[in-house]
Amino acid sequence: MKFKIVNITVSIFVLGFIVPFVLQTDVFPFVRFGMFAEKPKINSQKELFLISYQTKDGKLHAIDYQFTKQSKWHQLALNYHLRKQEIIYLQKLNESFVEYNARKWFIDKVVIKSNYQQDTVKLAIYEVK
Amino acid sequence: MKLNKWYLVISIILVGIVGVYSLYVRDTVISFFNGTENVFLDKIISVLYPRYYTDKFRFNVDFFVHKCDQIVVRLVIVYLLGSLFLIFKSNINKWFNSITANFTLNNINYLNIYYFVFLLWICKDWYFLFNDLYQIKAFYKPILLFSFSFKSMPNILILNLVLSVLYLATLSSIFNIYRKWSSVLSIICFVFLQMVFFSFEKIDHGYVPFTFLGLIICIVNFNQNNQLIINQLQKIAQVMLVACYYFAGLEKILSSGFTWFEAENFKVFMLMHKSYFTDFVVNNRVLCAILPIGAMLFQLLSPLALYNRKMSVIFIVFGFLFHFNTWLLFGVGALLHPWVVCYIVFWNKKMES
């Protein structure tokens, strides 16, 4: 019995390390330890996403910067941007924050270069029907 | 004789896999990534590599072909390591038994208090976190384990109920009230809530060794009267912890060669994750050369921590420095990282004295 417990534990951990390692993917609760593993592009630059909305009275409001810079929210915006689904992203935001009574949603990308110069690129506008 | 037969079977299978991949699958994969429709491959990728649908906008075909080649290369590595394990099984067992492990019935009580206090600390603001997440439930994309059971985000009442059970069970484990079952309940709730948390297109590796340690502590709690099993489990916990660091180093080598030993590569990462110290470090040649090499050596040599007590102390010191620097220079992780909390697995009587 005692060896069964140890052997089962060992087998679970061995599988837990090997499966994500071979498949190079996370199979939660087992994960691939691939943080910072891919080679970065030389021209890599920091990107931030700014989300804002216009209410029916014409006023413009920005979603709290502290909110959007958190890694999870930033990752979501980045993923939708990479998939070229910014409009869907804004639609989902509108669905999530109905209480804002937004008329239009905007997503902008701020590119911070290595010399701290910033460029803002307008990515998409979603008009609420 | 029996072992030889197995070798033969596994070797034939492996040669078969490599052969079929090189002669047929690789070309099919290339044409799939180039846009040819393939329902079968599409299904496999949607299950095993859901991030592909994001990554295909970022990387070219070579990146994905390299990933596929890597699967075969890694299979061969695992096969060779497995073979070495079978050949040197008795030596490995001897080495495993020589690892220092001194958890006793007495300090298991402290171990539980230590672990579950940290668990409580990690989950202290999860009520607000899950309420925030529930607000954006439209973005929920279940991870593989949830894709059959929770296709849409669990109701906030269920989440708050699980969170309450987590807090109660954790407190109960700290105060040794029905500890066996309360620790299990606490870890189940912790894993469940992590699964919800990670169903927003990002799996965080920060809690992995901590969760593994929790599972081991649960097994320890059910075998409190068996010193032998407790020792074995402490050794497994030590191997598990250093394996996390080792695999992180190995991934870097396999994914991007030896670029992590180069100062230029480190500079690019620094510029991508700007912090207060970025300019100072980027303009300092010595630091740019030393820091990445130090980080890689620490990860790749981490198994040495299992060698003896001195090495484990060195590992702990460098581990603290590693996570502290990652937090300070990249803004990643925390000052007291959950991986660091797991260094308790190296605790032994001599350290205590």
Mean pLDDT of chain A: 83
Q: Of the ranges B66-70, B231-235, B311-315, which is most confident?
A: B311-315
Rounded-to-integer distance, Cα A64 and Cα A70, Å: 11
* Mutation for testing the B interface, residue in A12, A23, A28 having most B CBs under 10 Å: A28
Task: Give the residue on A whose Cα is nearest the Cα of B242.
Answer: A17
Distance (Å) from the alpha carbon of A58 to chain B's nearest alpha carbon: 25
Reported as a single tens digit per residue, the pLDDT across B183-208 is 999 999 999 999 999 999 888 888 99
Chain B residue numbers with beta carbons less than 8 Å from the beta carbon of A99 are none
Closest of B199, B84, B105 to residue B146, by C-alpha: B199
| Mean pLDDT for the stretch of residues B86-90 | 83
Residues A17 and A112: their CA atoms lie apart, in Å, by: 37
Q: What is the pLDDT of residue A127?
A: 92
Output the pLDDT for position A3.
Answer: 66
Q: Which of residues B6 and A15 earns the better pLDDT score?
A: A15
Q: Which range, of B77-81, B100-104, B144-148, B303-307, averages the lowest pLDDT? A: B100-104
Using the predicted structure, report yes or no on whether residue B19 has a pLDDT greater than 80: yes
pLDDT at B126 over 60: yes
Give the pLDDT of residue B178: 93
CA distance B231 to chain A (A): 10
- Of B24-38, B49-63, B242-256, the range with the highest mean pLDDT is B242-256
A68 pLDDT exceeds 70? no
Predicted confidence (pLDDT) at residue A67 exceeds the cutoff of 60: no
Q: Which of residues 95-114 of A touch B (CB under 8 A)?
A: 95-97, 112, 114
Predicted local confidence at residue B172, as pLDDT: 97
Whether residues A32 and B212 touch (CB distance < 8 A) is answered with: no
**B224 has a pLDDT exceeding 60:** yes
Question: Which of the four pLDDT bands, split at 50, 70 and 90, describes residue B315?
Answer: very high
Q: Residue B12 above 50 pLDDT?
A: yes
Q: What is the pLDDT of residue A129?
A: 80
Chain B residues lying within 8 Å of A83, measured CB to CB = 53-54, 57
CB contact (8 A) between residue B252 and residue A36:
yes
- C-alpha distance from A125 to closest chain B C-alpha (Å): 18
pLDDT on residue B239:
92
Q: What is the mean pLDDT of residues A49-53?
A: 89
Interval A76-106: pLDDT, tens: 888 899 889 999 999 999 999 888 889 999 9
Q: What is the pLDDT of residue B229?
A: 85
Contact A48, A115 (CB under 8 A): no
User: Does the predicted interface ipTM exceed a cut of 0.90?
Assistant: no
Q: Is A63 helix (H, G, I), strand (E, B) or coil?
A: coil
In terms of CA atoms, which chain A residue is nearest residue B241? A13
CB contact under 8 A, A114 and B271: yes
Q: Which two tokens stand for residue B285?
A: 């040649």
pLDDT tens sequence across B152-164:
999 999 999 999 9
CA distances from B75 to A24, B92, B183 (A): 11, 21, 36
> In the 8-state DSSP scheme, what is residue B83?
H
Judged against a pLDDT cut of 50, whether residue B353 lies above it is answered with no
CB atoms within 10 A of CB A80: 24
The reply to whether A39 touches chain B by the CB within 8 Å rule is yes
Q: What is the DSSP string of B127-158?
A: HHHHHHHHHTGGG-B--GGGTTT-SSPPPHHH
